[in-house]
């Protein structure tokens, strides 16, 4: 620009000046392409160095040496100039989402005793949705969930530990605790993020319409009437598996229940705009938003206090909910109990297992 203005009052030079402008534009484009390729390359390097670490089975099952192993992961991450790329590592699929380094969005979770389930959860959201901030409210797990190594940089995870865990076999004995955790998450950390999502360790988001999560949420943030956006569940069954599959839920549980206005695919989980958030209605959706804001589904349709959304659509996004997993994991889930008291019922297992099902292969191809 400076060149162009500097020469514009001299007609004799107009020709070379045009060339110069073209040159500058080409340079700008090239550097843009280089920049994008650079960040993509960086992401793939991170993926490969972290994946090497994650392949060591011991890192999930022991806690004694966890601290030093986590340091190794971080050291590898910062050592991206070393030729650590393992060429035999499968290419990421689908294309990895750009990292949300400004932490425009974050995820809040209340969880206990699921250190074996968290690695795949973190991997999915870190690499495929670009999430760089996870708030994990650990409901008294012994030893704490934070003492285990996970396959993403520890700097992306903020642990909040509540002790002791007061388990109760009475359903709703700790009624409201999960909502308190979620509201607390927004109170404590909400001012650092424009959006926060409230998810469980068995919920995996898919952007079905080719958008990124960040792009999708940026778009909703332009409308000040919208304070929260809900995504419909797609509940997966055990797919007939009796024991915990080695390859993880996204690959293994490839059957889900067919949408029906009377089944659990109606349920939504929610991302809220922190500036408009007041309190949760239940763990699925938001009761009160500020300034009369509303909660909507992907088409701008209003979601009411039932936290159900019908017609069920997943044109832009959908939430795969591995609610039963294998029989073995369901029994563990029952033993663990719900955070609010009580436990998952046999009735619910039967309801999902006996519902009409179809193949659900969408997430089976994801790498990592
Ligand atoms: C970087 O990696 C190289 C080769 O693996 C290693 O020798 C070096 O100590 C690493 N540097 C840091 C700071 O971790
Ligand atoms: C690369 O990955 C393969 C397969 O996972 C493994 O056998 C090999 O040892 C790895 N090589 C390096 C240098 O990490
Ligand atoms: C935590 O879960 C594991 C299985 O993943 C189980 O063996 C263990 O008993 C559980 N601990 C508690 C305190 O529930
Ligand atoms: C904002 O979203 C609401 C709910 O979908 C819709 O009714 C309204 O027209 C939108 N406003 C704008 C300016 O797009």
Q: How far apart are CA 223 and CA 104, in angstroms?
A: 16
Provide the pairing of β-strand 203-207 with 317-321.
antiparallel
Q: Which has the closest alpha carbon to 343: 135, 143, 170, 161?
A: 170
DSSP string spanning 149-185? Answer: --SS-GGGEEEEE--S----SSTTTTTTHHHHHHHHH
CA–CA separation, 118 and 340 (whole Å): 20
CB-CB contact of 123 with 154 (8 Å): no
Alpha-carbon distance of 184 to 121, in angstroms, equals 22
* DSSP states along 7-18: HTT-GGGHHHHH
CA atoms of 181 and 187, how far apart (whole Å): 10
What are the C-alpha distances in Å from 166 to residues 38, 173, 341?
Answer: 48, 10, 9
pLDDT score of 37? 40
pLDDT at residue 53, rounded to an integer: 43
The pLDDT value recorded for residue 288 is 87
Nearest-5° Cα angle at 232, 359 to 294 = 170
What are the two backbone dihedrals, phi and then psi, of residue 305, each rounded to the nearest 5 degrees? -65, -10
Q: For residue 115, what pLDDT is reported? A: 96
> Quick one: pLDDT at residue 90?
83
Output the CA 75–ligand 1 centroid distance in Å.
Answer: 8
Which ligand 1 atom is at minimum distance from the Cα of 79?
1
Q: How far apart are CA 172 and CA 338, in angstroms?
A: 9
Cα–Cα distance measured from residue 288 to residue 326, given in angstroms and rounded to the nearest whole number: 37
Site to substitute for ligand 3 among 115, 147, 336, 343, most atoms within 8 A of C-beta = 336
Distance 84 CA to ligand 1 centre (A): 10
Q: How far apart are CA 139 and CA 113, in angstroms?
A: 8
Cα 300 from Cα 313, distance rounded (Å): 12
Residues with Cβ within 8 Å of residue 222, at least 6 apart in sequence: none
Q: What confidence score (pLDDT) does residue 74 get?
A: 54
Task: State whether the beta carbon of 97 lies less than 6 angstroms from ligand 3.
Answer: no
Residue 116 CB less than 6 A away from ligand 3: yes
Residue-level pLDDT, tens digit, the chain, 368 residues? 334 333 333 333 444 455 554 554 444 443 433 334 445 555 666 666 555 444 433 333 323 333 444 555 554 555 455 455 656 678 899 999 999 999 999 999 999 999 999 999 999 999 999 999 999 999 999 999 999 999 999 999 999 998 766 666 666 667 788 888 999 999 999 999 999 999 999 999 999 999 999 999 999 999 999 999 999 999 999 999 999 999 999 999 999 999 999 999 999 999 999 999 998 888 888 878 999 999 999 999 999 989 999 999 999 999 999 999 999 999 999 999 988 888 999 999 999 999 999 999 999 999 99
* 81 CB near ligand 1 (under 6 Å): no
35, 38, 34, 7: which is closest to 20 by C-alpha? 7
Q: Among the bound ligands, name the one nearest to the CA of residue 77.
A: 1
Nearest CA to ligand 1 atom 7: 82
CA 257 to CA 234: how far, in whole Å?
7
pTM above 0.85, yes or no: no
Nearest-CA residue for atom 3 of ligand 1: 82
Nearest ligand to the CA atom of 337? 3
Rounded distance between C-alpha atoms, residue 65 and residue 191, angstroms: 35
DSSP string, 24-80: HHHHHHHHHHHHHHHHHHHHHHHHHHHHHHHT-THHHH--TTHHHHHHHHHHHHH-T
pLDDT, residue 283, reads 85
Ligand nearest to the CA of 221: 4
Residue among 49, 51, 86 whose CB has most ligand 2 atoms within 8 A, to mutate:
86
53 lines ligand 3 (CB under 6 A): no
CA–CA gap between residue 20 and residue 228 (Å, rounded): 48
Residue nearest to atom 9 of ligand 2 (CA): 86
Q: What is the pLDDT of residue 281?
A: 81
- The binding-site residues of ligand 4, defined as CB within 6 angstroms of any ligand atom, are 223, 225-226, 296, 300
Q: How far is the CA of 53 from the centre of ligand 1 (A)?
A: 15
Residue 240 buriedness (CB in 10 A; 0-12 / 13-18 / 19+): exposed
Q: Whose CA is nearest to atom 14 of ligand 2?
A: 86
């Amino acid at each position: 620009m400076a060149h162009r203005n500097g020469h514009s009052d001299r007609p004799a030079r107009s020709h070379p000046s045009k060339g110069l402008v073209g040159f500058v534009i080409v340079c700008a484009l090239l550097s843009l392409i280089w920049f994008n390729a650079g960040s993509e390359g960086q992401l793939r390097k991170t993926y490969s160095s972290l994946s090497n670490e994650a392949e060591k089975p011991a890192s999930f099952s022991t806690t004694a040496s966890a601290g030093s192993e986590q340091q190794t992961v971080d050291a590898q991450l910062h050592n991206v100039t070393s030729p650590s790329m393992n060429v035999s590592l499968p290419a990421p699929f689908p294309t990895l989402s750009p990292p949300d380094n400004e932490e425009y969005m974050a995820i809040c979770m209340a969880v206990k005793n699921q250190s074996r389930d968290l690695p795949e959860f973190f991997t999915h959201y870190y690499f495929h949705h670009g999430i760089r901030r996870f708030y994990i409210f650990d409901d008294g797990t012994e030893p704490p969930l934070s003492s285990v190594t996970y396959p993403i940089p520890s700097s992306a995870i903020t642990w909040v530990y509540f002790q002791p865990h007061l388990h109760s076999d009475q359903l709703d004995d700790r009624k409201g605790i999960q909502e308190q955790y979620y509201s607390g998450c927004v109170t404590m950390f909400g001012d650092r993020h424009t959006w926060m999502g409230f998810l469980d360790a068995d919920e995996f988001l898919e952007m079905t319409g080719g958008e990124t999560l960040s792009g999708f949420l940026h778009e909703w943030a332009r409308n000040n009437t919208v304070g929260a956006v809900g995504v419909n569940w797609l509940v997966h069954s055990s797919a007939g598996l009796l024991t915990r599959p080695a390859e993880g839920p996204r690959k293994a549980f490839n059957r889900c229940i067919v949408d029906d206005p009377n089944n659990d695919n109606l349920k939504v989980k929610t991302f809220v705009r922190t500036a408009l958030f007041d309190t949760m209605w239940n763990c699925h959706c938001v009761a009160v938003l500020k300034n009369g804001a509303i909660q909507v589904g992907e088409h701008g349709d209003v979601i009411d206090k039932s936290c159900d959304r019908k017609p069920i659509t997943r044109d832009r996004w959908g939430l795969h909910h591995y609610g039963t997993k294998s029989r073995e994991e369901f029994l563990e889930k029952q033993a663990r109990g719900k955070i609010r008291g009580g436990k998952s019922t046999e009735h619910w297992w039967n309801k999902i297992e006996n519902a009409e099902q179809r193949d659900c292969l969408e997430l089976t191809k994801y790498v990592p």
